[in-house]
Structure 1
């Protein structure tokens, strides 16, 4: 189901990039992932909505006040954004940007979990399509934290997800579940790495994508690795320093 049109509470609903040079970033991802990125819209805070196959895939925009490091932000659908924001503080997290209407029918807030990972929560009156699980589109989303299990009560209360666990390459790997679907994962951060949410974009050929990324000025943080039942992936940065993952899924 590459075009998602329904977003039950707890499911990822969007990703966007905040960066120092949105035009340069748009050019980078256009060349790497094949996105169509129009001119930024001043009416939408200088953000440009990128698309593939005429379907939205992500957005690229400028730094908000106080931000100095480029970052991808993950947003999750919630049924009651005010209740979810209250639950964020009640479970040891923080509200960084209180709930507010960013456009008619869409309310958003930015919160941090108890480990410090930042994410958005999103409530809207009517869903709109999002391209997923195709080359160039978001394929997976992952919480990276020193002790990801300690954040589970936060996500259960704020997003209304269930949690479970599996093993990847014989290491424990957390899962956030909405009904029977695994909607995101959680893994242990390397020593010294702060908690964060990581966006993985799908690619058809990981080696070719990594080579192209370096040609465009990006950097490889973690060399490609593989896991049965998952595929091959690498952790990288774009030319301006925003971190993300590239994932070549194992054939289904």
Structure 2
């Protein structure tokens, strides 16, 4: 598919699988400040009919937890694995957010020795990565006081402000950019992250990471980031079943049914079996590295 389809409007929500979504939701509420979100009767929350869903919100962004009876999250998946996909949460006070998280059991750190301040070349943010009780990777992010984007300037909200992005590990940046641009997204930022701070953050020895931010025409967060670790041997796409706990889904809202149908026709080989190919419903695709992308209208 060579020409971009101006169809993707926004990242409507991220869907995480869990054996017990109700119990996991308690962790997200207590440790991270999420609240319950109203159900959208017009939406299929995760592309699997009949799934039990807990709908959560942090600020203006949505995160859904879907009941899944498949394989558990496979241990400490490193950041360079194509299974790796994390949600990054913006916090107004890293010390307070980390202390609040530390007061709740069940999570495990990825970042070594606590939050780490990245150099200016990597954005200058303070970050901390960890795994929730089900194994999903998450990240806390705090901007420098003099460089807080308008969308994340603190107000009366909780110390955890909202979902900034979901980052996925990819084998080939150019290939993945081409796929997501074909949905209507655009490259908004690029950086090359390396050094001891990045090693601490990722828990990976001597990483060199191409970070590519992909934005949407609607503008506000969340967005999508591509993480490509240089020097890592080529890896096959993960064999993920839809009900595996690691089968996280990006739900992208398209402008209309025509855009959705065009994407489905162009990427027929990436459609998940049994998913509608027309605009009368959602479509579920696998990106070039096996990550699940659900397209919906709205």
Residue in 2 aligned with 1:107? 52
Residue in 1 aligned with 2:209? 231
- Give, in whole Å, the separation in 2 of the partners of 1:128 and 1:103: 20
Residue in 2 aligned with 1:161? 107
What 5-or-longer segments of structure 1 have no aligned partner?
1-26, 33-61, 64-68
Alignment of structure 1 residues 1-252 onto 2, 5 Å: 70-71=10-11, 73-85=13-25, 92-97=33-38, 103-104=49-50, 106-113=51-58, 115-127=59-71, 139-147=84-92, 149=94, 150-151=96-97, 153=100, 160-163=106-109, 165-167=114-116, 169-170=118-119, 171-177=125-131, 183-189=137-143, 190-194=148-152, 195-206=162-173, 210=177, 218-228=185-195, 229-237=207-215, 243-252=223-232
Q: TM-score, normalised by structure 1?
A: 0.50
The structure-2 alpha-carbon separation of the partners of 1:90 and 1:76, relative to structure 1 and needing over 3 Å to count, comes to same
- Give, in whole Å, the separation in 1 of the partners of 2:16 and 2:141: 18
- Give, in whole Å, the separation in 2 of the partners of 1:86 and 1:217: 35
RMSD: 4.9
1:238 offset after TM fit, Å? 5.4
The structure-2 alpha-carbon separation of the partners of 1:155 and 1:82, relative to structure 1 and needing over 3 Å to count, comes to farther
- Give, in whole Å, the separation in 2 of the partners of 1:231 and 1:154: 27
Greater share of residues in strand? 1
What 5-or-longer segments of structure 2 have no aligned partner?
40-44, 120-124, 153-161, 196-206, 233-298
- Give, in whole Å, the separation in 2 of the partners of 1:215 and 1:89: 36
Higher RCO structure (Cα 8 Å, ≥6 apart): 2
- Give, in whole Å, the separation in 2 of the partners of 1:119 and 1:216: 21
Q: Deviations over 1:134-177 (max 9, x none)?
A: 99x664313141426455547976x9424553536345321123
Larger C-alpha radius of gyration, 1 or 2? 2
The structure-2 alpha-carbon separation of the partners of 1:120 and 1:148, relative to structure 1 and needing over 3 Å to count, comes to farther
The structure-2 alpha-carbon separation of the partners of 1:202 and 1:124, relative to structure 1 and needing over 3 Å to count, comes to closer
